[in-house]
Amino acid sequence: MAVETLQTLSYSTGAKGWPSFYTYFPDYMIGMNSFFYSFKNGNLFRHNTNEVRNNYYGVQGISTIQSVFNPEPTLSIKLFKTMSLESNASWNVTQLITDLSSGSMLSTYFEQKEGEWFSYIRSNSGAVDWNLRSANGLATSNNITGTPAAKVINFANPIGSILSIGDSIYAKTDPPEKVGDITSLTSSSITVDASAVGAYQPQAGDFILSYKDSVAESQGARGYYMEFTLTNGSTAAVELFSVGSDVMKSYP
């Protein structure tokens, strides 16, 4: 069932189009003497002069901007690595969508560099893509001991230095099922908290996979194009002049 969203549209005679959508619903609008005025419930409001921003007729909202990156709009797959904001404040990236992947970034991910806000593009928390380098096959489990809260998975040979505490462990079923996250490890064993409801309890002979935190890995986003949504709920004045991204051709 489709959900209808009511919005106020503004028309630009210069652009000869509809450039903006607003979530407030005035009874009447008019521009006069370089100011924009609207009426609501018989009251007159002058816009862009209220010290409390994102507030219309006493209702607090958020600012939202949606756009798309598509340099060289051909069928070649691109890798979108970063996002930069020419702004006096960082924004939340609530949605990143390509035809192959998705992601999001909190405003706290951005760092200010030379007057711009910069961040590597991150995947959604908890997202798992077995085609990425975040996924690794370890080995066949040799022996399983311990309780669900401290499940010890032993291997016949050293597993190397690829693992870290906090990495997620899966058993190679079809599809792979999550066991839990690593709480400690040695050269040939890992201890996993497998006490979550529905967690797979590994058996000796299971092939074990690991997956690193998709947010921390900053793999970027692959696709022909990338749509993004920025939001800002600040009550102070915020300016955004441009949004950019470092883009390169993706080589499989």
Percent of the chain with pLDDT over 90: 46
DSSP string of 134-150? TEEEEEE--EEEEETTE
Select from 195, 188, 181 the least CA-distant residue to 146: 195
In 129-244, which ranges are continuous DSSP H helix?
A: 214-217
- The rounded mean pLDDT for the chain is 87
pLDDT digits (tens, 9 = 90+) for 137-187: 999 999 999 999 999 999 999 998 889 999 999 999 889 999 999 999 999
pLDDT digits (tens, 9 = 90+) for 211-232: 987 776 667 788 889 999 999 9
Q: Say if pTM beats, i.e. exceeds, 0.75.
A: no
For the ranges 54-58, 75-79, 157-161, the lowest mean pLDDT is seen at: 75-79
**DSSP at 215:** H
Residue 3 predicted with pLDDT over 60: no
- Domains and their CATH numbers in the chain: 8-61 (no CATH), 75-127+218-249 (no CATH), 135-212 (2.40.30)
Distance of CA 33 to the CA centre of its chain: 42
Q: CB count, 10 Å around CB of 210?
A: 19
pLDDT band at 244 (very low <50, low <70, confident <90, very high): very high
pLDDT digits (tens, 9 = 90+) for 86-144: 999 999 998 888 888 777 788 888 999 888 999 988 776 677 878 777 888 999 999 99
Q: Which residues pair with 80 in a beta bridge?
A: 221, 247
Q: Using an 8 Å Cβ cutoff, are 96 and 82 in contact?
A: no
Q: Which residues pair with 96 in a beta bridge?
A: 103, 228
Residue 2 predicted with pLDDT over 50: no
Strand ranges in 33-101 using DSSP code E only, listed in sequence order: 35-40, 43-46, 55-56, 59-60, 63-69, 78-80, 82-87, 92-97
- Residue 109 CB-half CA count within 13 A: 22
